[in-house]
Chains A and B, each alone.
Chain A
């Protein structure tokens, strides 16, 4: 998993304690030097400044921040630096906000309860263009896209429904499986699992499914 050059990461969170905690967690877990924190920011404006200056590979983004949420940062960066990838990291948020960040362009969502190695892994994954779904986001997507799995007629828009395989992959992730474990379980390659998750992410970002909005506003992911 160790990349030849470390993945350059910027931490964006309005709590300094959280930033230093995440930084410490990354440093202690990351023996191979896969990840290097190159900057921190405490609000949206600072984040835009730091990201534009550092041009990191991955931005670890808090969902809630003063001056607009993580979605605001993503929108501000996407136009000028489309190569920067975002991973939403959050304690506990309304599903609405999490979905907002993902639909704004974040490549994944993990909770702050994630341990160091898993977070490092997630950052490396996001840097290489994969999507990262924690169990909660997987559960959310399953719930939001539920109800049409058994339907005989395929949905008009293939963005609005999950394939049975995608569903299977998501269920394993929701059960706490890593991509590798899920690959073993389904006798697939890890790469295929990644493809499925990326496809689900695309659906989550592009689908106009009514249930997404309705569900998100009525519930909290954590």
Chain B
């Protein structure tokens, strides 16, 4: 990802922090790349210069100011706030980082180093304080190391609900361990200087003050927090309500207005009501699962759509029950078209207010039954110019290797369509 920036012979690449093989923040790697030096050399230089503290400051300045080489300008990893720093180091989930262990070790080393350095020259306190300070700093680094993840786990309620308990505990233990190390380090440091008694007095004063402030402001803070949560919940609820209201207005209320204006026409009212019912159902309940994943319409969807069309056009109610599903090919499309024709016939000629459609997809093939309880007819009596059944149903099925049988009598009419599945399918 950074090859173009390190091409030899060209002008020097811009100074960016290295994202690969970094020990802490990629500062040394970046400098090495920019100056064309060996990374290890730069690191050793840094370590030596750390003794007088300058390199330490330089390192942190570069860390904060110089962008990462993976920063594509989208601002995602740019360091705007100090809290971005840990995120910039551990981009993505910490679990994805292949060098976690090395980094942990590096932190321990850095912590000890800083502790020793401070102990050695900054504080004139003798050698006894080196170890405690190191321990404290290692602890602090540990807290820092885990902070983003722990915060994420704590602040996001999703993480709290779905996150793995163990991993959260793990990170909690690390943070607690870090806190323990810091406290132990500080206490040991103070003890080493016989300042524990003084510190205790100071700590007592600070603690008492803190407790007092907490007592005074605590209830208020708590209430504020609760109000914030309540307000947020309320806002979400309000948003959902507005969405539902918008939908109901666009669909149901409009339809009701139409129904009122057409109250004299029962057919129109029934049609409007049926369409609205279907639409509302589709909205309330997730769309029916389809057989095909690639977005091609499924047989069930096609049949339901056809039924909905006939319902709308002819003002009858059509109940569709589909068992199984399949993808649509030419023959299946023809079957749906034939079924549609049968529905139209039932709607137009039978006089029945309702039509039942049952379709079953099995290993053997596709079967569709369109049934009404209206007045039946004798298929042989159908005039020659009414070609619906002969051509659009029987003929269409026959052309695609299927069959269609029409049974009609006093109890109504049933058209049965049967499409045997292709052998190679």
CA distance A136 to B356 in the complex (A): 10
User: Quick check: A94 and B319 within 8 Å, CB to CB?
Assistant: no
CA distance A149 to B362 in the complex (A): 10
The residues of B that contact A219 with a CB separation of less than 8 Å are: 288-289
User: Quick check: A142 and B285 within 8 Å, CB to CB?
Assistant: no
- Whether, in the assembled complex, B321 has its beta carbon less than 8 Å from a beta carbon of chain A, the answer is yes
Within 8 A of B (CB), among A133-169: 135-136, 138-139, 142-143, 146, 149-150
State the interface size on chain B (CB cutoff 8 A). 23
User: Quick check: A175 and B322 within 8 Å, CB to CB?
Assistant: no
- Whether, in the assembled complex, B358 has its beta carbon less than 8 Å from a beta carbon of chain A, the answer is yes
- Whether, in the assembled complex, A14 has its beta carbon less than 8 Å from a beta carbon of chain B, the answer is no
CA distance A113 to B323 in the complex (A): 20
Partner of A181, one of B285, B362, B411: B411
Closest residue of chain B to A136, judged by CB?
Answer: B321
Which of the listed residues B321, B322, B354, B356 has the most CB atoms from chain A within 10 Å of its own CB?
B321
CA distance A130 to B7 in the complex (A): 84
User: Quick check: A220 and B358 within 8 Å, CB to CB?
Assistant: no
CA distance A150 to B289 in the complex (A): 24
- Whether, in the assembled complex, A92 has its beta carbon less than 8 Å from a beta carbon of chain B, the answer is yes
- Whether, in the assembled complex, A176 has its beta carbon less than 8 Å from a beta carbon of chain B, the answer is yes
User: Quick check: A135 and B321 within 8 Å, CB to CB?
Assistant: yes
Partner of B358, one of A92, A146, A174, A218: A174
CA distance A149 to B323 in the complex (A): 14
- Whether, in the assembled complex, A222 has its beta carbon less than 8 Å from a beta carbon of chain B, the answer is yes
CA distance A219 to B281 in the complex (A): 13
CA distance A94 to B321 in the complex (A): 15
The residues of A that contact B321 with a CB separation of less than 8 Å are: 135-136, 138-139, 174
Within 8 A of B (CB), among A145-203: 146, 149-150, 171, 174-177, 181
Closest residue of chain B to A176, judged by CB?
Answer: B356
* B131-146 interface code vs A (CB 8 A; 1 in, 0 out): 0000000000000000
- Whether, in the assembled complex, B170 has its beta carbon less than 8 Å from a beta carbon of chain A, the answer is no
What is the minimal beta-carbon distance from B252 to any residue of chain A, in angstroms?
14
The residues of A that contact B69 with a CB separation of less than 8 Å are: none
- Whether, in the assembled complex, B425 has its beta carbon less than 8 Å from a beta carbon of chain A, the answer is no
The residues of A that contact B371 with a CB separation of less than 8 Å are: 175-177
Q: List 23 A-B contacts (CB under 8 A).
A: A92-B281, A92-B284, A94-B285, A113-B317, A113-B319, A113-B354, A136-B319, A139-B322, A143-B323, A150-B363, A171-B358, A174-B321, A174-B323, A174-B358, A174-B360, A175-B356, A176-B319, A176-B356, A176-B358, A176-B369, A176-B371, A220-B285, A220-B286
